[in-house]
Structure 1
Amino acid sequence: MVSRRTFLAGSGVVAAGGMGWFQTTAAAASGQVSSAGAAPAGQRLLPAFERPRRLHYGDVSKLSGGDQTLLTTLQGVVNRTRPELYFLFNPGGPDGPDARWLRNTGLPTTRYADPLELVARYKSRIRGAIVHDPAIPDSLNVATTLAGLENAVVATAEQASAHGLRIVKDLRGVFDEDRVKTYRWQLDNLFPRCSHKLLAGLPPTMVVQAENITWTEIARETRQIRDSSNRDTYTLDVSPALGAEDVYVRFADSFRDDGWGASVASVLVKANGAELANFKPGTAAEEPYLFDGLNSSIGGEGNRFSDGGGYFIYKFTPPAGTTSLTVTVEMWNQYVVSVTDTAPTRVEPFPYFRDYVVATKSLVSWLPPNGPTGELLTAHFDAVPPTTPYAGWFSNDVAGEWSGVDLAAQGGSEVIPADFYMNGTVHSGVTAPISDKVRRFTPVKPQNKIYVTLTFGEGDNVQYCQRHMRDLWDDPRRGEAPVNWTVSPLLAEIGPGILGHYQRTATPNDLLICGPSGAGYSYPGAWPADQVDRYMELSGRFMRQTGMDLVYAYNHRENDKWVPFSEELGRSYAENTPSRGIIQSWEGGDLLVRRGGLPIIGNFSPPGKAAEYKAALDAHTKDWTGDAPVFIAGGVNAWSWTPTDVAELAKLLTGNYVLVLGNVFFDLLNRTLD
């Protein structure tokens, strides 16, 4: 699986003196709303921000993570009153998504060549700095929570001194490396003062690519192998990388489009014939050597793997005078292995989405959803009412996603993937008309054909909707072929300008449908039985508000397998949402049932681009006799496909294939399914 990170990647309590979670009665009476077509102020799930009048902005893409954190927490304090600060994070300059969305606001702007000048400009609006402890990464999250409560920024002691900021609270030496103890202290001592309407999960640090690194390739699988048939023990000579103190070995995917990258089960390193390291992934023995594993996962066989644009890097320090260094690995699938003697990455503070956390005075943590940290994360969910959103993400890539979303659902919380959602306070305040009209279509008379509908996934991910989807959407060949686009209906509140743009600029061949699995990413089958209808009611409200009547959904997992929707869950969708049908993801394409009266069809998502995808469709339908229509809900990998690829596939779907939008597809399916 290619992960989203790889590509970028009821109490209503609010601390006194801050913004109200919803708009005040006076504001509502004056007609101030966060977006046209949005829910009334008292019914909002997410906070309302005043409409910005002018935006002061700057390009921060070249700044360090520490300086970006200083600015995003400043942004949170300033924008809480009315959004004024906006930053360009991506290196695309005037052509990047951040710049395009800024232009789309239509607001007057003032550009700052040095964005750090904004600290001095807005110094009077903050009380000072919360100083985090660089030796204890998780202190950055505690500092962020405190910054929201104290109207302060997050900084190092050096930054506070350089900008003349009073230190409001100094966290150096306060915490140790016991993550559970740190976040338990925060839950016990800070959460009572925080908003209880939102939980946040953000990594305290990020890995940043170093500049001008030269990698030397030493092994590559040139065949597209996805069945482990090349699993073997390979001895790789990494001696060419000797010369500096350390050697770095990177494992990546030789075919980045299909999600079957390098997989490693064991590593043995020898320096001049003597054993230097010997370990299996995911064990304590691996830890001293795993330099960067954030973009990888541990598989069911104890193997470490990474797909698409991901990778993992091991660091080895051979004795002085070493002339021969070999790495013997048990490895398979589509690997490419490279080496360098220069540190390829560095660790910096993770700055993104902190404006939103600070502005809303929310509690932010980073708790892997298994073991003792998972137990503490469960305590967070227990501390808030049902359907309270968890915004951000989870650690441990794909495995963390599955267990984290499952744990949130068990705790009655939907997930908003938002850890890379930039300028969230601004996008929440920008006004835009949101249409609640369901797309009309002309019904088609069923024929004995193979009906295919194609769907871009990942739309639950608001940062994808903000960034990568914008790039896909701007493909000049979009509209040549019918395709469904999953989006989060929660954009109606957290990014109305973004959703409104997609609604206004959609061609007749673009259909926006609800991303998994409703109002926020969730596994409905994992919800407590007495709370799941609350999630469905919330989903129905947002779907009606945004004119969506189809759902691309997941369910929960049992024994590492995805479970089909039950009759009860289908009935809850049917009774509480306007859904006319459901595409269930992570199913091999053979599922076709009714649950609660709704047709549910499995997602068929073969690897490869157009020609290989067409070949897989042919193989999947080879036994079709032509005496009845066949329906295939085809998944499109949003991280590797583009509308151009969809157009190329559409040209191949001739003869008995009929490519249609999801509304036509489900109308046909409803009329033919027994």
Structure 2
Amino acid sequence: MVSRRAFLAGSGAVTVGGLGLVPGLTSSAQAVVSSTSGSPARLLPVFNRPKHLDYGDVSKLSGGDQTLLTTLQGIVNRKEPELYFIYDTGTQSVPDAKWLTDLHLPTRLYKNPLDLVAKYRSHVRGAIVHDPAVPDSLNIATTLAGLENAVVADADQAKAHGLKIVKDLRGMFDDDVVKTYRWQLDNLFPRVTKQLLAGLPPTRVVDVEGVVWQEIARETQQIRDSSNRGTYNLDVSAKLGKEAVYVRFADSFSDDGWGASVRHVVVTANGTEFARFEPNTPEEAPYLFDGSHSSIGGEANRFADGGNYWIYRFEPPAGTTSLVVTVEMWNQYLVSATDTSPTRVEPFPYFRDYVVATKALVSWLPPGGATGDLLIEHYAKWPTLAPYMGWFANDVSGEWDGVDLASKGGSPVVAADFYMNGTVHAGTAAPISSKPRPVRRVSKAKNKVYLTLTFGEGDNIQYCQRRLRDIWDDPKRGEVPTNWTISPLLAEAGPNIYSHYQRTATANDYLVCGPSGGGYTYPASWTSAELTKYLKMTGDFMRRTALEVVYAYSGRQDGTWVQLSEEIAKGYADYTPTKGIMQTWDGDTLTVRHGGIPITGGWGAPGKAAEFKAALDQRISSWDGSSPLFISGLIGAWSWTPSDMAELGPLLTDPYELLLGNSFYDLLNRTL
């Protein structure tokens, strides 16, 4: 998985944590145990089927008002889903509106969504008031809201809507994040569901409209080898005059993933140095206005690829007339500046309906240091296979470290922090076929290059809900054989979403299980006994959703992806219907048979069709043509579309033959 910010029916008499469960599930412990025969146990919570939906467009509301409504949605929808919100009006395709239409339910539009607070006030006891001065108190308030049947609000919102204050968190906590979440774990753990735990950022950064950026420097060539590394003097004096100057570093070629990279920063005002720092150090912190869309590289450099960026804020001494930012910088940089604060910080509202409805505990603990130690304690307290739903702090490095800690703790990760209306989608009923796609069998391998191409990110259920729907609706989809990773957990988190992709797939669309099965994980980091449970659960979900190929991670050693071991591969062979595994891989060509199944290393290239083809030609330049060559290619899900695939397809002439994943691994298996 790459950075995502460029970049889960029925009613029953038995209850767990306030949720109606299907007959036969009598405890949260049972709900996270899977079997390989009979009816598989439920992994995720059950919601009743919605009969009608009140809905509103909340895209223009503040994060605070969205949080109020999303937590109200969690309380109301816990019993029966009745509330649905449109979060993304103004985007090209508006997935929230499309999914609502696809549900074919009676609906009623509320032009002012906040009117729904009054309509459903009787469903809640009142409000848990968070402390705006302590951002993480919003997560504590969310956990309490689920336990106390309340909404999350600030004091002004509670007063405006006539909500009784059930618990006031103002003054309870300070900036000590570990102490805050320690209090939550010690005091609320006995009451929360043990079926899952959640991780959500307490705040989000929102762009301020009308901000004008002035370009300061741009690399006009597609340089990815650091050959333009040097010291650059960036004169941002033109933006002096207001309180501060904001300097943004981005990618001048946003579709190929090699953006600005910076190592040292020195700032001078009227020729006098007033700031000097290196990325990811305490000295940088006072100036890093927004670093959430960037990452730290191996040289302790800060970089931002694709649509990502970071922003420094410099407030020079009064009377400054010359401001120069000197940086050691390289690759495809785009530097711009403004004198206006480009963003504001407000509550992060998404996925809180699901957290509140399930009475889950939610935290936001970066996976390193003291916060990482506390996160490890969380995993230790929850049962094996209880998913961690949400995401991690610190972007890519947080992802790798966070997923590794979750894997060691026996928790598959479900990227869900932007999964909207989860309480509605989890309650829908939709047909999901368990019959795998027939193989278009190639009788015998010739001396050709057999290629299969796969869109990644499918473990990420918010991607499946949002970005995947965007590109899936591209009219050119189906022109080229394409694999699409998807989460089998959607069978429970969003059956209608999974069903849509399965039912509307063309003959050239093949669904593949996203990494690394029933939730994003690194199999090499699990204990042997717990990995067996994970693989059995994965097998159940794959059979339910007709998936027969897995895109899998293995684990990392010394910063490098390693090959799946014989033992792990045999586990996939024994407990899942996997016919082949494509795995993330940093080494040379990987085409092996382990555990009785073929495994290939994923290969990718920057750029779009022509550049991808050129890199592919280079990739096979040492092939002598005397035997078949198999390549599993990865396609960037955040930058490519089926239209791009339609451009690539005609370029793949002899010696290439493009196959769907099932045909590819069937042929490779017989060839090996």
* TM-score of the pair, normalised by structure 2: 0.96
The alignment status of 1:388 with 2:418, answered yes or no, reads no
Give distance in 2, aligned partners of 1:348 and 1:672: 56
Give distance in 2, aligned partners of 1:657 and 1:253: 32
Q: Is the 8 A contact 2:25 2:42 kept in 1?
A: no
Work out which of the residue numbers 260, 271, 274 in structure 2 matches 1:273. Answer: 271
The correspondence of residues 386-425 of structure 1 with structure 2, limited to 5 A, is 386-425=384-423
Residue by residue over 1:164-219, the C-alpha shift from the partner in whole angstroms, topping out at 9 and shown as x without a partner, is 00000000000011110111110110011000110000000010000000000000
Structure 2 equivalent of residue 359 of structure 1: 357
The alignment status of 1:3 with 2:3, answered yes or no, reads yes
Give distance in 2, aligned partners of 1:94 and 1:56: 24
Q: By how many angstroms is 1:586 displaced?
A: 3.5
Q: Is the 8 A contact 1:21 1:360 kept in 2?
A: no
Structure 1 equivalent of residue 10 of structure 2: none
Q: By how many angstroms is 1:593 displaced?
A: 1.0
One-letter identity of the residue aligned with 1:636: I
Q: By how many angstroms is 1:23 displaced?
A: 2.8
One-letter identity of the residue aligned with 1:470: R
Give distance in 2, aligned partners of 1:361 and 1:514: 29
Give distance in 1, aligned partners of 2:485 and 2:322: 52
The alignment status of 1:549 with 2:512, answered yes or no, reads no
The correspondence of residues 106-125 of structure 1 with structure 2, limited to 5 A, is 106-125=104-123
Give distance in 2, aligned partners of 1:595 and 1:372: 38
SS in 2 for 1:277: strand
Q: Is the 8 A contact 1:23 1:41 kept in 2?
A: no
Q: Is the 8 A contact 1:451 1:657 kept in 2?
A: yes
Residue by residue over 1:554-596, the C-alpha shift from the partner in whole angstroms, topping out at 9 and shown as x without a partner, is 0110100111011100100000000010001133561111111
Give distance in 1, aligned partners of 2:234 and 2:248: 12
SS in 2 for 1:531: helix
Q: By how many angstroms is 1:442 displaced?
A: 2.6
Q: By how many angstroms is 1:504 displaced?
A: 0.4
Give distance in 2, aligned partners of 1:564 and 1:91: 43
The correspondence of residues 549-628 of structure 1 with structure 2, limited to 5 A, is 549-588=548-587, 590-628=589-627
Q: By how many angstroms is 1:5 displaced?
A: 2.6
Structure 2 equivalent of residue 324 of structure 1: 322
Give distance in 1, aligned partners of 2:626 and 2:300: 47
Give distance in 2, aligned partners of 1:42 and 1:551: 20
Residue by residue over 1:422-471, the C-alpha shift from the partner in whole angstroms, topping out at 9 and shown as x without a partner, is 00000001110011110002311221111110000000000000000000
Give distance in 2, aligned partners of 1:625 and 1:116: 67
Structure 1 equivalent of residue 246 of structure 2: 248
Residue by residue over 1:265-321, the C-alpha shift from the partner in whole angstroms, topping out at 9 and shown as x without a partner, is 011000100112110011110011000000111111111111111100000011121
Residue by residue over 1:470-504, the C-alpha shift from the partner in whole angstroms, topping out at 9 and shown as x without a partner, is 00000000000000000000000001000000000
Q: Is the 8 A contact 1:132 1:156 kept in 2?
A: yes
Structure 1 equivalent of residue 502 of structure 2: 503
The correspondence of residues 493-532 of structure 1 with structure 2, limited to 5 A, is 493-532=492-531
Q: By how many angstroms is 1:22 displaced?
A: 2.5
Q: Is the 8 A contact 1:248 1:340 kept in 2?
A: yes
Structure 1 range deviating more: 585-594 or 48-57: 585-594
Q: Is the 8 A contact 2:53 2:108 kept in 1?
A: yes
Q: By how many angstroms is 1:655 displaced?
A: 1.6
Please identify runs of 4+ aligned residues in structure 1 that moved more than 4 A: 15-18, 24-27, 39-42
SS in 1 for 2:599: strand
SS in 2 for 1:436: coil
Q: Is the 8 A contact 2:602 2:633 kept in 1?
A: yes
Structure 1 equivalent of residue 34 of structure 2: none
RMSD of aligned Cα (Å): 1.6
Q: By how many angstroms is 1:18 displaced?
A: 5.0
One-letter identity of the residue aligned with 2:114: L
SS in 2 for 1:388: coil
The correspondence of residues 75-474 of structure 1 with structure 2, limited to 5 A, is 75-92=73-90, 95-445=93-443, 446-474=445-473
Q: Is the 8 A contact 2:25 2:41 kept in 1?
A: no
Q: Is the 8 A contact 1:56 1:112 kept in 2?
A: yes
Check 1:576–1:62 CA distance in 2 against 1; reply closer, same or farther (3 A cut).
same
Q: Is the 8 A contact 1:589 1:603 kept in 2?
A: no
Q: By how many angstroms is 1:4 displaced?
A: 0.8
SS in 1 for 2:85: strand
Structure 1 equivalent of residue 54 of structure 2: 56
Structure 2 equivalent of residue 641 of structure 1: 640
Q: Is the 8 A contact 1:93 1:99 kept in 2?
A: no
Q: Is the 8 A contact 2:15 2:21 kept in 1?
A: no
Q: Is the 8 A contact 2:19 2:47 kept in 1?
A: no
Give distance in 1, aligned partners of 2:278 and 2:654: 51
Q: By how many angstroms is 1:19 displaced?
A: 2.3
Q: Unpaired segments of 5 or more residues in structure 1?
A: 8-14, 28-38
Q: Unpaired segments of 5 or more residues in structure 2?
A: 8-13, 27-36
Residue by residue over 1:616-674, the C-alpha shift from the partner in whole angstroms, topping out at 9 and shown as x without a partner, is 1111111222211111101000011000111111110012111110011011101111x
Give distance in 2, aligned partners of 1:16 and 1:497: 24
One-letter identity of the residue aligned with 1:458: E
Check 1:45–1:16 CA distance in 2 against 1; reply closer, same or farther (3 A cut).
closer
Q: By how many angstroms is 1:94 displaced?
A: 9.3
Q: Is the 8 A contact 1:394 1:404 kept in 2?
A: yes
Give distance in 1, aligned partners of 2:588 and 2:50: 46
Q: Is the 8 A contact 1:22 1:44 kept in 2?
A: no
Residue by residue over 1:337-366, the C-alpha shift from the partner in whole angstroms, topping out at 9 and shown as x without a partner, is 000000000000000000000000000000
Q: Is the 8 A contact 1:490 1:520 kept in 2?
A: yes
One-letter identity of the residue aligned with 2:539: G
The alignment status of 1:492 with 2:487, answered yes or no, reads no
Q: Is the 8 A contact 1:248 1:313 kept in 2?
A: yes
Give distance in 2, aligned partners of 1:20 and 1:340: 50
Structure 2 equivalent of residue 31 of structure 1: none
One-letter identity of the residue aligned with 1:594: R
Q: By how many angstroms is 1:69 displaced?
A: 0.2
Residue by residue over 1:51-79, the C-alpha shift from the partner in whole angstroms, topping out at 9 and shown as x without a partner, is 10001000000000000000000000000
One-letter identity of the residue aligned with 2:408: Q
Structure 1 range deviating more: 87-96 or 450-459: 87-96
Residue by residue over 1:128-165, the C-alpha shift from the partner in whole angstroms, topping out at 9 and shown as x without a partner, is 00000000000000000000000000000000000000
Q: Is the 8 A contact 2:5 2:307 kept in 1?
A: no
Structure 2 equivalent of residue 11 of structure 1: none
Give distance in 2, aligned partners of 1:80 and 1:588: 47
SS in 2 for 1:43: coil
Q: Is the 8 A contact 1:514 1:543 kept in 2?
A: yes
Q: Is the 8 A contact 1:589 1:604 kept in 2?
A: no
Q: Is the 8 A contact 1:514 1:549 kept in 2?
A: yes
Give distance in 2, aligned partners of 1:150 and 1:480: 52
Q: By how many angstroms is 1:41 displaced?
A: 8.8
Check 1:499–1:441 CA distance in 2 against 1; reply closer, same or farther (3 A cut).
same
Give distance in 1, aligned partners of 2:309 and 2:332: 12
Q: Is the 8 A contact 1:589 1:601 kept in 2?
A: no
Q: Is the 8 A contact 1:589 1:632 kept in 2?
A: no
Check 1:608–1:95 CA distance in 2 against 1; reply closer, same or farther (3 A cut).
closer
Structure 1 range deviating more: 550-559 or 93-102: 93-102
SS in 2 for 1:426: helix
Q: By how many angstroms is 1:91 displaced?
A: 2.2
Check 1:559–1:94 CA distance in 2 against 1; reply closer, same or farther (3 A cut).
closer
Check 1:181–1:26 CA distance in 2 against 1; reply closer, same or farther (3 A cut).
closer
Q: Is the 8 A contact 1:183 1:365 kept in 2?
A: yes
